[in-house]
């Protein structure tokens, strides 16, 4: 992550915005569109770069934890 950038990415089925060096500004969203919109607005407000990491849609509200034991 670049210094101070706002990054929008998928995290186990939810979308989140994180800000390097300011974890208190991080937020989660249920849709990519909302996360991208809010991430762009936050980046503009902070005068920082906004980066969107694309992820393939899974169709699930939450993806399984890759570290969880198999059922």
**What tens digit of pLDDT does each residue of 24-71 get?**
999 999 999 999 999 999 999 999 999 999 876 555 555 556 666 666
Give domain status of residue 61, yes or no: no
Its domain, for residue 33, covers 6-52
Residue 40: inside a domain, yes or no? yes
Q: Give CA–CA dist 27/1, Å, rounded.
A: 17
What's the total number of domains in the chain? 1
Q: Which residues pair with 19 in a beta bridge?
A: 6
Gap between the Cα atoms of 62 and 71, Å rounded: 16
Whole-model pTM: value is 0.71
* Contact partners, residue 26, CB within 8 Å, separation at least 6: 16, 17, 18, 19
The three-class DSSP label of residue 17 is: strand
Cβ 5 vs Cβ 51: under 8 Å: yes
Q: Is residue 67 part of a domain?
A: no
């Amino acid at each position: 992550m670049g210094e101070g950038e706002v990054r929008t990415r998928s995290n186990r089925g939810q979308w989140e915005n994180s800000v390097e060096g300011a974890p208190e500004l991080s937020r989660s969203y249920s849709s990519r569109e909302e996360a991208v919109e809010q991430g762009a607005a936050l980046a503009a407000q902070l005068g920082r770069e906004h980066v969107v990491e694309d992820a393939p849609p899974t169709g699930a509200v939450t993806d399984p934890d890759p570290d969880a034991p198999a059922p």
